């Protein structure tokens, strides 16, 4: 069974916090908390922009979360899009409905996220 991880943004401190099933106490230095405490912070509106870890890492070893902006060569062109959870319990690269993350070889990279780097998607037309 894979580790369950989530990520949420703390707007006041401008940092990401991570919730995981693998810890039992808060590690403030690493910003990691047990899932129960993490979800309490979300409920208390201390964290926003929550996304699941998709269980994969990019070509640089960076964990990939929902809301990340991901870039990869696909069918002869470089595509950039947002990681989203979609139909059939799979992760997709939006706006590419046939680009399923995790089924294909991970050879792209996380270049930011839609919360801190919305400009990465603003001008994109699907090709670069």
Q: What is the pLDDT of residue 118?
A: 85
Residue 127 has pLDDT above 50, yes or no: no
| Domain boundaries along the sequence of the chain | 5-121
Q: Cis peptide leading into 97, omega within 30 of 0?
A: no
Pick from 58, 91, 67, 70: nearest CA to 9: 67
The rounded distance, in Å, linking the Cα atoms of 121 and 83 is 12
Burial class (CB in 10 A: 0-12, 13-18, 19+), 89: exposed
23 has pLDDT over 50 = yes
Distance from C-alpha of 51 to C-alpha of 66, rounded to nearest angstrom: 5
The whole-number average pLDDT for the span 51-69 is 91
pLDDT digits (tens, 9 = 90+) for 71-114: 988 778 888 888 888 766 677 777 766 666 665 567 889 999 98
Top-level CATH class of 5-121? mainly beta
Average pLDDT, the chain: 84
């Amino acid at each position: 069974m894979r580790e369950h991880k989530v990520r949420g943004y703390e707007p006041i401190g401008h940092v990401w916090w991570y919730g995981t099933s693998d810890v039992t106490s808060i590690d403030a230095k690493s910003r990691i908390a047990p899932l129960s405490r993490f979800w309490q912070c979300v409920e208390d509106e201390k964290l926003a922009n929550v996304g699941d870890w998709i269980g994969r890492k990019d070509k640089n070893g960076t964990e990939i979360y929902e809301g990340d902006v991901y870039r990869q060569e696909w069918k002869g062109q470089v595509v950039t899009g947002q990681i989203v959870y979609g139909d059939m319990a799979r992760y997709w690269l939006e706006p590419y409905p046939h680009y399923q993350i995790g089924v294909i070889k991970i050879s792209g990279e996380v270049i930011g996220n839609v919360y801190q780097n919305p400009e990465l998607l603003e001008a994109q037309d699907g090709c670069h």
